[in-house]
Amino acid sequence: ETGVTQSPTHLIKTRGQQVTLRCSSQSGHNTVSWYQQALGQGPQFIFQYYREEENGRGNFPPRFSGLQFPNYSSELNVNALELDDSALYLCASSLGGQQETQYFGPGTRLLVL
């Protein structure tokens, strides 16, 4: 059974740029959730994708967007990067549009300069 993987592991961007982060869900899982974890804070829910549709969203602006593909992998896109977007981005996979039992990837650390 393959676990949740994320790429890249680290990324440096400048303010105003756009970034795409990728997540491969655990085998058999059809739901992917994305979280932002600022340094010293708990993860904050960005949104969730279930069967290629967004079915839940946290308090993040529209410049945070995502996709889920037929193989259930997912992308997180952030446009017009701001310094405060610097954080660890985590994805988690689960089943059935629920987060009752979710498995987290190792994260992508984004630094915006």
Positions in the binding site for another protein (CB under 8 A): 4, 33, 35, 40-45, 48, 50, 55-56, 58, 90, 92, 97-102, 104-107
Comparing CB distances to another protein, the nearer of 19 and 34 is: 34
DSSP 25: P
Q: Report, in Å, the least distance between residue 79 CB and another protein.
A: 23
Comparing CB distances to another protein, the nearer of 40 and 70 is: 40
DSSP 43: -
Q: Report, in Å, the least distance between residue 57 CB and another protein.
A: 8
Q: What angle do CA 103, 105, 100 make, to 5 degrees?
A: 20
For the record, the structure tokens of 25 come out as: 């869900």
DSSP 85: G
Check if the beta carbon of residue 66 is closer than 8 Å to that of residue 76: yes
Comparing CB distances to another protein, the nearer of 42 and 62 is: 42
